[in-house]
Amino acid sequence: MSQLAAGDRRDPAAAPVGLDALIARDPAHPALPEALRRSAERHAHLCPRQVLGARLALAGAAALGIPLPQADKRLLAVVESDGCFSDGVAVTANCWVGRRTMRVEDYGRVAVTLVDTHGGAAVRCRPQLDVRTRVGAWAADAAALAAGGRDTGRGMAPTSAAGDIAADAVAPRWAAYVLGYQRMPDDELVDVLPVTLTIDPAAIISHPDRRAVCAVCGEEVSNGREVVGPAGTSCAACADPAGAYYRPRERGPSNHNA
Ligand SMILES: [Zn+2]
Ligand SMILES: [Zn+2]
């Protein structure tokens, strides 16, 4: 059976499977079923990457000795891809971009670094590199669940218009990822690697009430993100227009002058 690059596929023509069948009754961590239900509700489907996000968050927080979901803003999660994986991390850890407890460093990798902002300890968590070759041993029921589905197409158990998780079809390997990733012990699933941040967590979090005005574009700059250079205090885009993620198409009062 070929391995899927995304680990996130199903056969739209295969037999229907509801969310309940995708939540393992014998998970490696007792917090997992509830976390996955909340993730699936928010996300409109359950998929392997959400499970990995939840598992990596649980393993990393355990290594740091911080209970999940956090009730405060002690834990900072730096996720290395957006999408399904980051939702699993967010719901499980209670770390959110909107609360400034999650940042996305989009390397396109399924990995998260959890930072204890009380002291700065940090661990980078990733699935073990050969996990897909071993997950099948933890999901003997996947084939029956998939009931003849093939490993093609995009995989999800989507919500209906009414907001319920609707039944949908899954493929065997996709089902094996969803179920097996819930059951594999941490030491078979996750690499928890201590890391040293190259950026001070205090600088990442910065000062939410800090304000500056860019001397070039005139826009307000929050959170201490202003840059001080030869041209004075400016936003990051005006300080380095060539490195900015966009280029203005017309000059105007809110565009770069450079
Ligand atoms: Zn997904
Ligand atoms: Zn500017």
Say which ligand is closest to the CA of 212: 2
pLDDT at 154 over 50: no
Is residue 81, in this structure, part of any structural domain at all? Answer: yes
* pTM score: 0.81
- pLDDT tens by residue, 223-234: 889 999 887 999
Question: DSSP of 203-246, one letter per residue?
Answer: HHH--TT-EEE-TTT--EEETT--EEETTEEE-HHHH-GGGSS-
Same domain? 190 vs 128: yes
Using the 3D structure, point to which of 160, 177, 202 is the last residue of a domain: 202
Same domain? 233 vs 136: no
Identify the pLDDT of residue 159: 42
pLDDT at 171 over 60: yes
Measured CA to CA, the distance from residue 164 to residue 140 in angstroms comes to 27
The better pLDDT of the pair 173, 165 is held by 173
CATH of the domain at 110: 3.30.1330.130
- pLDDT tens by residue, 96-109: 999 999 999 999 99
Is residue 123, in this structure, part of any structural domain at all? Answer: yes
Same domain? 79 vs 161: yes
Same domain? 191 vs 177: yes
Helices (H), the chain: 19-22, 32-43, 48-64, 84-93, 131-134, 142-146, 172-183, 186-189, 201-205, 236-239
Identify the pLDDT of residue 44: 77
Q: At 228, phi and psi to the nearest 5? A: -105, 115
Same domain? 110 vs 222: no
Domains contained in the chain, number = 2
- pLDDT tens by residue, 116-146: 999 999 999 999 999 999 999 999 988 887 7
Is residue 2, in this structure, part of any structural domain at all? Answer: no
Say which ligand is closest to the CA of 46: 1
Q: Tell me, in angstroms, the distance from the centre of ligand 2 to residue 107's CA.
A: 26
Is residue 6, in this structure, part of any structural domain at all? Answer: no
Q: Tell me, in angstroms, the distance from the centre of ligand 2 to residue 213's CA.
A: 8
Identify the pLDDT of residue 98: 92
Same domain? 72 vs 185: yes
Same domain? 53 vs 154: yes
Q: Tell me, in angstroms, the distance from the centre of ligand 1 to residue 40's CA.
A: 9
Average pLDDT over residues 203-220: 87
Using the 3D structure, point to which of 202, 230, 245 is the last residue of a domain: 202
Is residue 9, in this structure, part of any structural domain at all? Answer: no
- pLDDT tens by residue, 18-61: 788 899 999 999 999 999 999 998 877 889 999 999 999 999 99
The residue written with tokens 């399924």 in the block is: 110
The better pLDDT of the pair 146, 88 is held by 88
Identify the pLDDT of residue 108: 96
Q: Lowest mean pLDDT: which of 18-32, 167-181, 182-196?
A: 167-181
Same domain? 119 vs 234: no
pLDDT at 112 over 80: yes
- pLDDT tens by residue, 56-85: 999 999 999 999 999 999 999 999 999 999
Is residue 54, in this structure, part of any structural domain at all? Answer: yes
Q: Which residues surround ligand 1, an ion (CB under 5 A)?
A: 47, 84
Is residue 88, in this structure, part of any structural domain at all? Answer: yes
Same domain? 154 vs 224: no
Same domain? 142 vs 210: no
Q: Tell me, in angstroms, the distance from the centre of ligand 1 to residue 200's CA.
A: 32
What's the domain range around 79? Answer: 16-202
Same domain? 150 vs 245: no
Q: Tell me, in angstroms, the distance from the centre of ligand 2 to residue 227's CA.
A: 9
Q: Tell me, in angstroms, the distance from the centre of ligand 1 to residue 232's CA.
A: 44
Is residue 90, in this structure, part of any structural domain at all? Answer: yes
pLDDT band per the 50, 70, 90 thresholds, residue 216: very high
Using the 3D structure, point to which of 183, 202, 221 is the last residue of a domain: 202
Say which ligand is closest to the CA of 42: 1
Say which ligand is closest to the CA of 219: 2
Same domain? 185 vs 213: no
